[in-house]
Chains A and B, each alone.
Chain A
Amino acid sequence: NLKTGGPCPACWGAAFDLESQRELLLDLAKKSILNKLHLRQRPTLSRPVSRAALKTALWRLRAPRQETPLEHDQTQEYEIISFAETGLSSINQTRLDFHFSARTAGGMEVRQARLMFFMQLPSNTTETVNIRVLVLRPYATNLTLTSQYPLQVDASGWHQLLLGPEAQLACSQGHLTLELVTKSQVAHSSVILDGFSHRPFVAARVRAGGKHRVRRR
């Protein structure tokens, strides 16, 4: 008890009555969790995700990773899975929008972002998918292409792509737009965009409190 300078009640007071203090403890537990997650109140689910998509995404993420592990430090880290919402589409291209809560980690720093998507190809077929990263520049009204990644796909299944710093920055600012472009309409139809368990997603590894860090220039 810092204010009175007296002893703490846990040490010298009467034995704690669990039942009478149950509500207080539950309230304490709730506040503690929300506080540590940098949330003011419990989230209300605006766009519920199907259990199948959730199950698949978690299963994919549990698979062994091939990229080099990130340097670990003591700050709290998060992994965020954002499921795609499909936007403007044409014959051979589809726009994917991913939303991230910039508040989730109290000013988050995205350290790694991976796109995962599913393609269903006929056997002995190879397709090239161009993945384009689009960002909205300050004071601009249209999205600008910042980078693109050609990906050779030669089998059906889940495919992943490590996205670069532009995409990581977009995630940390709350919104990432990608465009999947294929050479032909046939190839485009092989990208599964809205299947319940095959919905594309971005998995981001995030460090909390990124905006509070000071960098030397």
Chain B
Amino acid sequence: GVNCQGGSKMCCRQEFFVDFREIGWHDWIIQPEGYAMNFCTGQCPLHVAGMPGISASFHTAVLNLLKVNTAAGSTGGGSCCVPTVRRPLSLLYYDRDSNIVKTDIPDMVVEACGCS
């Protein structure tokens, strides 16, 4: 996966951190202090589609480009910039009865993005 930098418009992972104190949730969420949500953004031209990430090498990019050129009328937007690696978010929080709950919520943190 590639992290978004500067004016890049290709599919990349944009870091986005939600500070629980900033949104006033620090009183009921004990740990962690925030949520590294992150998300995927950017374009997925067809020659990078179908791979679990941006083109792995120059050769695979060229091969995919050839595939695109030989496909007739391939102008549609079938490929999406989507999370390819995600990990759980561990939370320790108070529920409405002031019990303390610990859980791992699966697939909450985007680790890497790629073109579908």
Contacts and interface: CB of A to CB of B under 8 A. Distances in A.
Interface of A: 6-8, 10-12, 15-16, 18, 25-26, 28-30, 32-33, 36-37, 42-49, 54, 57-58, 76-83, 99-101, 103-104
A100 to B, nearest CB: 6
7 contacts: A7-B77, A30-B23, A42-B25, A43-B95, A45-B28, A81-B99, A99-B99
Interface of B: 7-9, 11, 14, 16, 18, 23, 25, 27-28, 30, 35, 37, 39-44, 76-82, 89, 91-106, 108, 115
Nearest to A49: B98
A47 B105 contact: no
A46 B98 contact: yes
Contacts of A77: 103-104
Given A36-B105, A82-B99, A101-B99, 16 more contacts: A11-B77, A11-B80, A12-B77, A15-B42, A30-B18, A33-B91, A43-B94, A45-B27, A46-B97, A46-B98, A58-B100, A80-B95, A81-B99, A81-B100, A101-B95, A101-B97
A104 B28 CA distance: 14
Contacts of B39: 10, 16, 25
Given A7-B76, A78-B102, A46 B96 contact: yes
